[in-house]
Amino acid sequence: MSAPGWRDPMLATLTERRFADRAWLFERKLDGVRAICVRDGGTPQLLSRNRNPMNGAYPEIVEAIAGLGGDRFVVDGEIVAFDGERTSFATLAPRIHLTDPERARATGVDVYYYLFDLLHFDDHDARRLPLRQRKELLREAFDFTDPLRRSEHRDTDGDAYFRHACEQGWEGLIAKRADSPYHGGRTRDWLKFKCVSGQEFVVGGFTDPSGSRQGFGALLLGYYEGDSLRYAGKVGTGFDSATLHDLHDRLLRMEEKTSPFAERVAERGIHWVRPEIVAQIGFSEWTNDGRLRHSRFLGEREDKSPTEVVREEK
Q: Between the CA of residue 289 and those of 221, 261, 292, what are the distances in Å?
A: 15, 16, 9
Q: What pTM value is reported for the model?
A: 0.78
Render pLDDT for 235-289 as a digit per residue (tens, 0 to 9). 999 898 888 999 999 999 999 999 999 999 989 999 999 999 999 998 878 888 8
* 245 contacts 213 by C-beta, under 8 angstroms: no
- Catalytic site residue from 29, 176, 192, 304: 29
Render pLDDT for 178-226 as a digit per residue (tens, 0 to 9). 999 999 999 999 999 988 788 999 999 999 998 878 899 999 999 999 9
Render pLDDT for 8-67 as a digit per residue (tens, 0 to 9). 999 999 887 888 899 999 999 999 999 999 999 999 999 999 999 999 999 999 999 999
Residue 84, SS3 per DSSP: coil
* 273 contacts 202 by C-beta, under 8 angstroms: no
The DSSP string of 197-214 is: -EEEEEEEEEE---TT--
How far is 4 from 9, CA to CA, in rounded Å?
Answer: 14
Concerning whether 29 is annotated as a catalytic residue, the answer is yes
Residue 104, SS3 per DSSP: helix
How far is 18 from 194, CA to CA, in rounded Å?
Answer: 10
Name all domains of the chain by residue range, CATH numbers in brackets: 8-29+153-195 (3.30.1490.70), 31-150 (3.30.470.30), 198-308 (2.40.50.140)
